[in-house]
Structure 1
């Protein structure tokens, strides 16, 4: 019997309604390990007590008090919990669209969407940053469970504060405002980028995006170069290769199945691009049990 990652339908699980802000938060204690899974939402967690190990892309990360982490949509992961030291944490799930309501949130949106690449998945908060994050998590949970006037606006405002605390915790890294692209973009550009991040493992071409969003193919090519400093095809392949690496290291799926699950319609193309990106064949990569 092979191990396959499960897709979690967050809307169905939390019974979110169409007119409800696409956000949910739980303060929970996890006593049992979770299987490999992924979901369409961005996931943020902040650990208060306990200890666990999380597998992301085949690499293990330690979750301890003060740990905050971001996972972009469709990131495959699993958590191994010690029942003697259960994990007590806040877990937030939200649609990336919440970060697209203002063109001035481009920098924050870009950082969150590229977690695991230009921004680490994990950070460790202590002292005042820990207290601030704890306060914001309690605030957003209170807003989420109440029916105050402006509830949706308050949730989004608190979420932005939470994400800023997370991003700014990497103060010693080259993530300053000067190092990021500062030109604001219109809403449709991030809609397109977000759509690609949600559907990259499905058949997808520039022509498909052009027809779906009513813009020219050249416009799409230019926006990926302008916003992410890469070309559409290269970005699409990078997302698919990252998914393939995660599946190779965290499941026992057949390599051909992984190529299909990652969005490649040609096994030959998958093998060529994988070796080009990692300098290893998929089989050798799995046997090496490492992340370049």
Structure 2
């Protein structure tokens, strides 16, 4: 598995592997969005301290920098397709804003996981085979074909939630220009580093008020609240998946002040970080 991929010049920022995993994969994260589709086998994935079962037909999306680990059943190895791709692949057209918004909401208002069967399973399997063939070949228009197949894969994934009140209206967002999604993508990729509206304003050449408005318009929240939510989410995952000291976790999650981290964590979870860790680890159901 990878935490970073060094793409070659002119290579589309996309990677796919069909693999059989026989050993447990320790806690890690990727710089890219990750999509997987299980063909055979069984495993348990830990995301944000919660466990999810991976069985045939399981498809899942993880945003970039999402900390996770996979526990493999040695008697039933996991056979799956695993794709890593840059969020920018979804930003070439304003009409793809819905899919971009979905990925940003994965794990929050939208689930990480879905289970496909019947026609949906067959369609997803066909698309994974197709995109794998395009990736390994050198045909004319290879990069365009990969992006087109990726969009089809994500559409099958999103539409599988139709019976859970996930409709076009629930994903609706006004078409945006490229720079707005560039800013949102940058925040999602570097939220655990020093990051202020002033930094973004200088980097992207727009006003602070413009940045504030775009977060409210696209994500229905304020910039600072969005960054804090990403950092608290990362801290929760580290608390439940590692034995790191709480102060170390606050730093690793992007907080300059331990006092601020403690206050926001309790405000979000109604527990101190140590109480949260103890309560969840003692619970028989994560």
TM over 0.5: yes
Counterparts of 1:138 and 1:122, CA distance in 2? 20
Q: Can you list the C-alpha shifts for 1:8-64, whole angstroms capped at 9, x where unaligned?
A: 1122xxxx2021000010000000000100011000000000000000000110000
Q: 2:30 aligns with which of 20, 36, 39?
A: 39
Q: Which residue of 1 aligns with 2:250?
A: 259
Q: Which residue of 2 aligns with 1:234?
A: 225
TM-fit CA distance, 1:7: 7.6
- 1:10 and 2:1 correspond: no
Q: Which residue of 1 aligns with 2:17?
A: 26
Q: 2:120 aligns with which of 93, 113, 129?
A: 129
Matches within 5 A, 1:80-229: 80-229=71-220
Counterparts of 1:277 and 1:128, CA distance in 2? 41
Q: Which moved more, 1:252-261 or 1:106-115?
A: 106-115
Counterparts of 1:88 and 1:218, CA distance in 2? 48
Q: CA RMSD in A?
A: 1.4
Counterparts of 2:34 and 2:173, CA distance in 1? 25
State how many pairs are aligned. 283
SS in structure 2 at match of 1:197: helix
Structure 1 unaligned residues grouped into runs of 5+:
1-5
Structure 2 unaligned residues grouped into runs of 5+:
none
Verify the 8 A CA contact 1:181 1:227 in the aligned structure 2: no
Structure 1 segments of 4 or more deviating over 6 A? Answer: none
